[in-house]
């Protein structure tokens, strides 16, 4: 009896090898950054997530460091979003306004 299952192939198949950084960025079409609050998977600690920023990764890191300094907290840039370890979304919105970025608070 002959088994016709493919064991190894040099063909890429459905594997996508595009390392396009633009694809991982979260950019809204209306140009407004949104500030979400998230506690899920963070042991009850609130984190503000800023999405929809149409900026390069280096600019996102600079903006993240400004937000961390002015809010007195930690944070990181992950997949085109900024995560700031604070619940002070109003303060973040004011800082973004000073930076010339239109934003709105999203969620409850």
From first to last of its 108 residues, the chain has per-residue pLDDT tens of 566 676 666 666 655 555 554 445 556 667 788 999 888 877 778 899 998 888 888 888 999 999 999 989 999 998 888 999 888 889 999 999 998 888 888 876
Q: Which DSSP string do the residues of the chain spell out, in sequence order?
A: ---------SS-TT------TTTT----TT--EEEEEE-TTTTT--EEEEE-----HHHHHHHHHHHHHHHTS-EEEETTEEEES-S-HHHHHHHHHHTT--EEE---
pLDDT for 46 equals: 85
CATH of domain 33-105: 3.30.780.10
């Amino acid at each position: 009896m002959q088994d016709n299952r493919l064991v190894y192939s040099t063909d890429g198949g459905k594997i996508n090898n595009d390392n396009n950084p633009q694809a991982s960025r979260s950019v809204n079409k209306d140009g407004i950054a949104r500030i979400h609050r998230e506690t899920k998977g963070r042991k009850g600690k609130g984190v503000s997530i800023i999405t929809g920023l149409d900026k390069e990764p280096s600019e996102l890191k600079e903006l993240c460091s400004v937000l961390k300094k002015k809010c007195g907290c930690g944070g990181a840039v992950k997949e085109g979003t900024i995560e700031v370890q604070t619940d002070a979304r109003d303060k973040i919105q004011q800082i973004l306004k000073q930076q010339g970025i239109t934003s709105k608070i999203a969620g409850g």
